Structure 1
Amino acid sequence: MVAESTTPSLAADAAPPAEADGGPGAKGPAARGPGSGNTAAYLRYVAGKIAGAIISLFAVLVTSFFLFRLIPSNPVKQMTGGRRMSDAQLETLRHQFGLDQPMWKQFTTYVGDALTGDFGTSFQFHSPVIDKITDALPATLLLSGTSFAIFTALGIWLGTRSAWRNGSRSDRFHTALALTLYSVPSFWLGLLLIIVLAVGLGPIPGLFPTGGLETGGLHGFAYAADVARHMVLPVITLVAVCYAQTLLVMRSSLLDEMGSDYLTTARAKGLRDDLVRRRHAVPNAMLPTFTLVFVNLGNVVAGQILVETVFSWPGLGGLFYQALSVPDLPLVQALFFVFATAVILANTAADLLYPLLDPRVGR
């Protein structure tokens, strides 16, 4: 990777000996990924990872059915909203939603329907579960995608600066701040931001809405600006609690690279310090961070339930909280499967792409 980012003459001199022959520390021309005579090994690696992902998805499907049935509740009575109903009416509801069937029959029906994309009918909304998920998905993707892009870029940038200025006042400040925010519960930080920046303190008025996606009745640019204003507080909350992990991994990886011989050689050749960092150290230090980025991509979708609930955000997280309060078993099961699938697919994508950057993984 390093050799491709500089001139041929410098790459030949700056790279460590192990890099030239694709040895254990390969970072130069030999580190070309699975295309350099390792196609068969890479394909076996890919097949193993995909098979593992399929097994994990099926295990999640099974777990989602049994897990939420451990909750002591009576979904049929919850569906009535407290209205008085006769035993015959309650039995009709139980039959309508298949709750009068034996557990094994409910399970086989659930798995068979889920494999075709049918997760049943919501108890509380009386509409197909897949429709409720489809309606709420864009709001979640908007919030999680925006937050993910910001905290990933921020974590990599600050992690690089902190490592390159290791021990400086800036490094100590950013590391301490990241660790502090990382330990703060997201719902507590969200409530604090609502009190300070939405409700206001004393003579200081609130600057942002307390929750929701939009005010309503707006169109065009005014609508986009209104949505962006509603996103400020939940995005700040997610970024604050998520960027620390990327910062710390990037900082640690870059610190490990800074003592390498090829960086010393590059400096001895007269390259500027920022060029050494940008073209040599950072690309190699990005390998562990690359994996973390994909893991966070799945986690941010599954991990913003509390944030969406605090800010009344109409996404999958808020929908999951509503479904769990009933409990709306078909909706809860489907959302649990969606969240777990996002994490599994993100991890699998990282596993499949990582050998392209580090060929030692797929061998």
Structure 2
Amino acid sequence: MTADSNPALLDTEGPLGPGADGDPAAAGLPSARGPRARDTRAYLLYVAGKIGGAVVSLFAVLVTSFFLFRLIPGDPVKQMTGGKRVSAEQLAAMRKEFGLDKSVMAQFLDYTGNVLTGDFGTSYQFHAPVMDKITEALPATLLLTGTAYVLYTLIGIWLGTRTAWRNGKLGDRFNTGLALTLYSVPSFWLGLLLIITFAVGIGPIPGMFPTGGLESGGETGIAYVLDVAHHMVLPVITLVAVGYAQTLLVMRSSLLDEMGSDYLTTARAKGLRDDLVRRRHAVPNALLPTVTLMFVNLGTVVAGAILVETVFSWPGLGGLFYSALSVPDLPLVQGLFFVFSTAVILMNTLADVIYPLLDPRVGR
């Protein structure tokens, strides 16, 4: 039978595709646009839900940042006087200046309205806008934690892949044991050990690195860059030692879950080298949980490392937060806490939004 003698073949095999006008629905066939549209709607609803959850979390942070730090014992006004003898009238004037004479609810409403406009108030101890102090300290934090983030992410993924692929061997047992040990060590304690060993010097080991700070001062050009790098060695090692351990353990666990999959057996059966099976097939799928961890850790880059920055006297947001807690400088503490939490929430939300694009099973 030819196409000329069968009009139905002309309808389904014409230049426009299935059907007389090229529309699959006209020929009674399912349309490919239907499932795609449903997937798009499902993804948009998923994203909207995540964004809505982030907004609720930010509001919870706003409330928490205001009420939590008011539980800290001590009178901020008396702390600002530095122990000097001040009359009751002067204390009352200072409380009025900073709005501390109002009720707690009135202070909260003022604080909420100001935050929505980007105003976190004036620091008690520095007598400067909180946002200015945060902006001033942010570059030092990004330099330190950003450098450490890149290093421990790369090291953790590389070692996690190697240890999982050689599961049970000596290298796997050594690296896993070391990672578990470092992951359980408090970062400030590890930092103190490094200062004692490599900054102060112990036994035959001389002091080779500064005990803290960002720079020695008086340097310019390439000498300044080298000086800053010299000061960064110990705090970066401290952050990398703890951060790489977490990344290694997550990457190792994910890759071990993938190693028994049928698609890897098929790839080997096709004659692919073991190295290609790992790099082209196993690692890309095992990276998905690690990608989530990377976004979560990226949020902590802005938050800094409060204890590590304090131990090494690093002039970043972490050291600023510790200084604000000691007063307590309520506007500065509240502003820093809100910025820290916002960075983590935004990175978590971004990870949730991107994850379905990497794994279509999520969010559908």
State the TM-score, normalized to the length of structure 1: 0.89
1:5 match: none
Greater alpha carbon shift after TM alignment, 290-299 vs 139-148: 290-299
**Matched residue type, 2:72:** I
C-alpha distance after superposition, 1:144-165 (max 9, x if no partner): 1111111111110000000000
Cα distance in 2 for partners of 1:91, 1:202 equals 56
3-state SS, counterpart of residue 38 of structure 1: helix
Would the aligned equivalents of 2:124 and 2:331 in 1 still touch at CA under 8 Å? yes
1:259 match: 260
2:202 match: 201
1:223 match: 224
Cα distance in 1 for partners of 2:301, 2:177 equals 23
Q: Does 1:340 align with 2:341?
A: yes
Relative to structure 1, is the Cα distance of residues 165 and 357 closer, same or farther in structure 2, using a 3 angstrom cutoff? same
Cα distance in 2 for partners of 1:328, 1:319 equals 10
Would the aligned equivalents of 2:304 and 2:316 in 1 still touch at CA under 8 Å? no
2:177 match: 176
Cα distance in 2 for partners of 1:89, 1:115 equals 31
1:131 match: 132
C-alpha distance after superposition, 1:207-247 (max 9, x if no partner): 11100011111111111111111111001001111111111
Cα distance in 1 for partners of 2:46, 2:300 equals 24
Greater alpha carbon shift after TM alignment, 83-92 vs 312-321: 83-92
Question: How far did residue 204 of structure 1 move?
Answer: 3.0
1:67 match: 68
Question: How far did residue 302 of structure 1 move?
Answer: 3.0
C-alpha distance after superposition, 1:325-346 (max 9, x if no partner): 0000000000111111111011
Cα distance in 1 for partners of 2:83, 2:206 equals 40
Question: How far did residue 298 of structure 1 move?
Answer: 1.6
Cα distance in 2 for partners of 1:154, 1:41 equals 36
Question: How far did residue 35 of structure 1 move?
Answer: 6.7
Cα distance in 1 for partners of 2:202, 2:90 equals 52
Question: How far did residue 300 of structure 1 move?
Answer: 4.3
Question: How far did residue 299 of structure 1 move?
Answer: 3.0
Cα distance in 1 for partners of 2:150, 2:200 equals 28
Cα distance in 2 for partners of 1:36, 1:107 equals 45
2:360 match: 359
Cα distance in 2 for partners of 1:158, 1:36 equals 41
Would the aligned equivalents of 2:142 and 2:304 in 1 still touch at CA under 8 Å? no
Ranked by relative contact order (alpha carbons within 8 Å, sequence separation 6 or more), the top structure is: 1
2:149 match: 148
Cα distance in 2 for partners of 1:190, 1:217 equals 26
C-alpha distance after superposition, 1:167-207 (max 9, x if no partner): 11000000000000011110100000000011111453211
Cα distance in 2 for partners of 1:204, 1:293 equals 36
Higher gyration radius (CA): 2
Cα distance in 2 for partners of 1:270, 1:159 equals 25
Question: How far did residue 104 of structure 1 move?
Answer: 1.0
1:19 match: none
Cα distance in 2 for partners of 1:240, 1:39 equals 42
Relative to structure 1, is the Cα distance of residues 319 and 35 closer, same or farther in structure 2, using a 3 angstrom cutoff? farther
Cα distance in 1 for partners of 2:281, 2:133 equals 48
Cα distance in 2 for partners of 1:209, 1:171 equals 35
3-state SS, counterpart of residue 131 of structure 2: helix
Unaligned 5+ segments in structure 2 are: 1-34
Unaligned 5+ segments in structure 1 are: 1-33
**Matched residue type, 2:220:** H
Cα distance in 1 for partners of 2:253, 2:107 equals 49
2:95 match: 94
Cα distance in 2 for partners of 1:139, 1:123 equals 22
Question: How far did residue 301 of structure 1 move?
Answer: 3.7
Question: How far did residue 362 of structure 1 move?
Answer: 1.7
2:122 match: 121
Greater alpha carbon shift after TM alignment, 306-315 vs 236-245: 236-245
C-alpha distance after superposition, 1:77-136 (max 9, x if no partner): 001111111111111100000000111110100000011000000000011111000000
Cα distance in 1 for partners of 2:197, 2:275 equals 40
Q: How does 1:5-16 map to 2 (within 5 A)?
A: none
Greater alpha carbon shift after TM alignment, 201-210 vs 67-76: 201-210
State the TM-score, normalized to the length of structure 2: 0.89
Would the aligned equivalents of 2:300 and 2:344 in 1 still touch at CA under 8 Å? yes
**Matched residue type, 1:186:** S
C-alpha distance after superposition, 1:294-352 (max 9, x if no partner): 11112344361000000000000000000000000000000111111111011001000
Taking only the aligned residue pairs, the percentage that are identical comes to 78
Greater alpha carbon shift after TM alignment, 323-332 vs 81-90: 81-90
Residues paired across the two proteins, number = 330
